[in-house]
Copies of this chain bind each other. A is one copy, B any other.
Amino acid sequence: MSLDPAIAARLKRNEAGLFSAVAQERSTGDVLMVAWMDDEALARTLETRKGTYFSRSRQQYWVKGETSGHTQYVHEVRLDCDGDSVLLIVDQEGAACHTGTHTCFDTDVLLAKP
């Protein structure tokens, strides 16, 4: 799958060819997770509407929920002003975090509400 060249031209990738992707739940507004994409992962996400990322540790693509069943249906994708981050508005099936929590930010609070 190849990415629309007009979109590819607006992306700013890091040295590894990657940019960050934030998944936000449509119904709750919760920020579910932050992961990485390259052009191919973004192209696949846009084409299939399934959240698809690139794993830095495994150096391979992964479709969210492919093994867990916790898929992400992608409603919207937005690129930020400097082209190095995308925001995905998704419907999340089940837990977004591999630890079983709703979001990846549920467990470790560094600073609490005052």
Q: Which residues of chain A have a CB within 8 Å of any CB of chain B?
A: 7, 10, 15, 20, 22, 24, 28-31, 33-34, 42, 45-46, 49, 74-82, 84-87, 97-99, 101, 104-114
Other-chain contact of A77, B74, B99, B111 (Cβ < 8 Å):
B111
Q: Compute how far the CA of A114 lies from the CA of B51 in the bound complex, rounded to whole angstroms.
A: 15
Whether B81 contacts A46 by the Cβ 8 Å rule is no
CB distance from A71 to the nearest CB of B (A): 16
| A104 pairs with B75, CB closer than 8 A | no
> With a CB–CB cut-off of 8 A, which chain B residues contact A81?
97-99, 101, 104, 107-108
Least Cβ–Cβ distance between A56 and chain B, in angstroms = 9
